[in-house]
Structure 1
Amino acid sequence: MNALAGDATMHARAGATQPIRELHDVRAHALPLDELLERNEPVVLRGIARDWELVREGARSMQAAMDCLRRRDNGQPVTYSWGPPEIRGRPFYNDEFTQLNFEVRRGALSQALDEIAAHAGDASPPMVYVASLLIDSRMPGLRAANDLGLPAQGIDAPPSIWIGNRVTASCHFDAMNNLAVCAVGRRRFTLFPPEQIHNLYPGPLDPTPGGQQVSVVDFDAPDFARYPRFRDALDAARSAVLEPGDAIFMPSLWWHHVQALDAFNVLVNTWWSSVPAHVPTPMHALYHAIWTLRDRPEREKQAWREVFEYYVFGDAERAGAHLPPPARGVLAPVDELLARQLRAMLIAKLNR
């Protein structure tokens, strides 16, 4: 494998960024997942899906790619986001951050495709965005000719498809690892390591444009007077433009800002966790910590920080190492049985 750094820049008004590391000539069956997870850095996989049916059809024309999707559609209604031209393809908030600037519609997939096609030549089209549609249940047969074979590498997670026009997904993070294939159209990805959360100005935890908190900075026209720390975030940013057939690996908790650059764009992604299914998302713990810890006196918060370092963020075996195994209780490794016991205990305590 030849790791190369590509020429990648963010939008000129937002400043230059570092390129994302690239791998070329990697075949899907030889995807180095263990290495990617160990390095914990984003990587662009150039051309890994070049042989996908959807990629080939998209290279022919927008209509050919749409016809490919129509043939696989099982006819069930889908939900999609629609926004007026003035939002510039950016699902976001109103000025007070109290409401979203788009509406959710329900209809046939063909209806969304027709609307995208009808406005493909517009300089400022309305936003049409089918987000995170589960392929196996909604588009049976598509996966057979458009798949990276992740189950063969131990990843049994369902792929999702994202269909739209020039949509910008504001900078956010995912709790799981993400492998995303650019199937039709080009996309610009701008990524930030997890510690840049302090400089990205996250918005409300609820509501959110797509289920996860997003940076409130407009990357096309950043207001550095209002968000001065964003300059520091840009110093740590990494960016790349993906062509059809390229993929990108984004480790858990890396912030990513994604801009679809063409009149019609399709992305296929798979999320998966590095921990067993019986370990839930830490977002539950975050909400609980906001409720129980955040507003305590600073001296108490610092003391609790040490408690969490000892029991949670330090070595997983340290807290129970001096105890005999039968006495370790919740300090033992969490298996499915202990996970069920912890869940029942927490539900009982929260319901008191």
Structure 2
Amino acid sequence: MAERDSPIYDRLARVPERDWRGAGGIDAVSDGAHEPFVLRGLVEDWPLVAAGRRSAQAARRYLLDHARDRAFTVSIGPPGHDGRLFYDADMAMNFRSGTGKLGDIFAGIDKGEELGDIRTVYLASIDIPAHFEGLDEANPVDLGTRDPLKSIWIGTRTRIAAHNDYPDNLACCAVGRRRFTLFPPDQFRNLYLGPIDNTPAGRAVSMVDFAAPDLAAYPRFVDAMAHAQTVELDPGDAIFIPSMWWHHVEGLADFNILVNYWWRRTPAWLGQPQEALNHAILAIRDLPEEDRAIWRDLFEHYVFGADESVTDHIPEAARSILAPLTPESAGRLRAFLLRTLSR
């Protein structure tokens, strides 16, 4: 893997650490948090962490003991791949994706280690309950009343371009080492984002190569780095990444496992903001400038600046979706949108 060779990395701020062992545990330190922080040793007692400390092979055997008999999606880089899962020169993906049994995928990694020819192999965002039996129960995290999505990320040395996620994220380093470089949500302009509909993994990513940033092509990246925080996690450590924070993630060991938990602060029946952005591009962005100005004003009125003045003049029982949404009204709105979008 290429080293980061730019002086802009010399004096990065560190992600702060928090003590999670007091009253309330993770709940107390993460509830309402809008800044990232590190939880050292959070999962150091996991059997998966213990297996990884013995060897990478022991960690893989441990996972195989829990794996369900089903296909796993895997991304594989060509010979000479540097671990950066990204675009090629034609803006297609620089890796191929396929499916296979976990034992066969791990056998390929074993062979590469034996021959000293470790290819880029990456299993990303694998749903734990769907693909493993008993793994979650044997390696628990107490998240209180939250009901998170639980995913595992398995791979050789990788570099994952800076991206963000809508849910809050607790990411636990189980095997190997991870480096995170994080940016506040407002730094998206300085990260030079790529397409939002053609992405390596479903989210728009920074076009900057963090290993060797081209500051002539991406000069504002210097401004992004002035707001960045970084940290390296050892096995057993975890990091909390708030909603919409940008994060560049590197697997630093020859074999790495990360387990993460995603949860929303809003009800699951609310829509996804990214879908609204996509629809706005379809319906509004290419309108004449004077029309866009009208719609900008309407969005401010009904969405971003919505207050009682929007509905005070409407009988309460007749406010429909202008009233605070409920599961029922959200369902009706979703059904209406599906009908209109399918025309």
- TM-score computed with the length of structure 2 as normaliser: 0.93
- Tell me the CA shift for residue 121 of structure 1: 7.0
- Note if 1:333 corresponds to 2:324: yes
8 A Cα contact 2:4 2:212, kept in partner:
no
Q: 2:88 matched to which residue of 1?
A: 94
Distance 1:122 1:213, change over 3 A: farther
**Partner of 1:290 in structure 2?**
281
Instruction: Give the deviation of 1:149 after TM superposition.
Output: 2.5
Would you say the 8 A contact 1:45–1:248 is kept in 2?
yes
Tell me, in whole angstroms, the C-alpha distance in 1 between the residues paired with 2:75 and 2:281: 30
Match of 1:64 among 45, 58, 69: 58
Q: Which of 233, 237, 248 is the equivalent residue of 1:246?
A: 237
Give unpaired runs (5+ residues) of structure 2. Answer: none
Sequence identity of aligned pairs in percent?
A: 45
When residues 54 and 318 of structure 1 are mapped into structure 2, their CA distance, relative to the original with a 3 A threshold, is farther
The residue matched to 2:285 in structure 1 has which SS? coil
Q: Is the 8 A contact 1:28 1:148 kept in 2?
A: no
Q: How does 1:104-183 map to 2 (within 5 A)?
A: 104-120=97-113, 125-150=118-143, 153-183=144-174
Q: CA RMSD in A?
A: 2.1
Determine the C-alpha separation between the residues in 2 that align with 1:303 and 1:55: 56
Q: Which whole-Å deviations, capped at 9, do the CAs of 1:10-51 have from their partners, x for residues lacking one?
A: 945252321111113537961135x53423111111111111
**How far 1:319 sits from its partner (Å)?**
2.3
Length, aligned pairs only: 339
Once the two structures are superposed, what CA deviation does each residue of 1:157-197 show, in whole Å capped at 9, x if it has no partner? 23111110101111101111111100001100001111111
Distance 1:102 1:235, change over 3 A: same
Per-residue CA deviation, residues 229-253 of structure 1 (Å, 9 max, x unaligned), is: 1111111111100111111111111
- The answer (yes or no) to whether the contact 1:43–1:250 under 8 Å persists in 2 is yes
Contact 1:85–1:125 under 8 Å retained in 2: no
Does residue 1:265 correspond to 2:233, yes or no?
no
Tell me, in whole angstroms, the C-alpha distance in 2 between the residues paired with 1:296 and 1:124: 53
Secondary structure of 2:310 counterpart: coil
Change (3 A) 1:158 1:27: farther
SS at match of 1:169: strand
CA contact (8 A) 1:28 1:149 kept: no
* Aligned partner letter, 2:193: P
Letter in 2 for 1:155: R
Matched residue SS, 2:278: helix
Deviation larger for 301-310 or 270-279: 301-310
CA offset at residue 346 of structure 1?
A: 1.7
Cα offset for 1:318?
A: 5.0
Query: Is 1:77 matched with 2:71?
Result: yes
Give the distance between the partners of 1:168 and 1:300, measured in 2 at CA: 42
SS at match of 2:109: helix
Stretch of structure 1 that moved more, 303-312 or 319-328: 319-328
Alpha-carbon distance between aligned partners in 2 of 1:340 and 1:116, rounded to the nearest angstrom = 46
Q: 1:71–1:286: structure 2 CA closer, same or farther, 3 Å change rule?
A: same
SS in 2 for 1:38: coil
Is residue 233 from structure 1 mapped to residue 224 from structure 2 by the alignment? yes
